[in-house]
Amino acid sequence: MRTKNKKDSKNHPYAEIRKDLEKQRTTLLSEAGVIIGSGLNSNQENLSDVGDQATAVADQNFLLRLKEREQKLLKKIDEAIERIANGTFGICESCGGEIGFKRLKARPVTTLCIDCKTQQEQEEKVRSS
């Protein structure tokens, strides 16, 4: 016999999305642990060739940018999980309307409905022109 809480959490409209977010979060944290464990400078010990040194520095800069992107994504994932918990997930932060389930399933960290996101992109395009 199931308890009411387990049943409710499984039937919650965003339970599957939350599970996906938590899985993605775990994967990102695990990958970050591998990068940190291997060390960023491990391949740069005795590089006497200037070209090899430049390549190593470029690789290190790439890893750092990648880590920054992962940190931003982790923050967005945490914020989405928080919105699910407090009941504001799926509500557009711009217009207050509902964000479609298909959009949330495809991009669960989104905070804008498709109309507001389209408008935002058009405004950014005008500013960058």
Domain boundaries, the chain: 1-89, 90-129
Question: Tens digit of pLDDT for each residue in 48-99?
Answer: 777 777 777 777 777 777 778 888 999 999 999 999 999 999 999 999 999 9
Please list the residues that pair with 69 across neighbouring strands: none
The predicted model scores a pTM of: 0.69
92: CB partners within 8 A, 6+ apart: 98, 99, 111, 112, 113, 116
**Per-residue pLDDT for 3 more than 50?**
no
Over residues 30-55, mean pLDDT:
65
Q: Confirm if 77 and 25 have CB atoms less than 8 A apart.
A: yes
- Tokens in use for 18? 């939350």
Concatenating the DSSP letter of every residue in 7-36 gives HHHHHSTTHHHHHHHHHHHHHHHHHHHHHH
Of residues 127 and 56, the one with the higher pLDDT is: 127
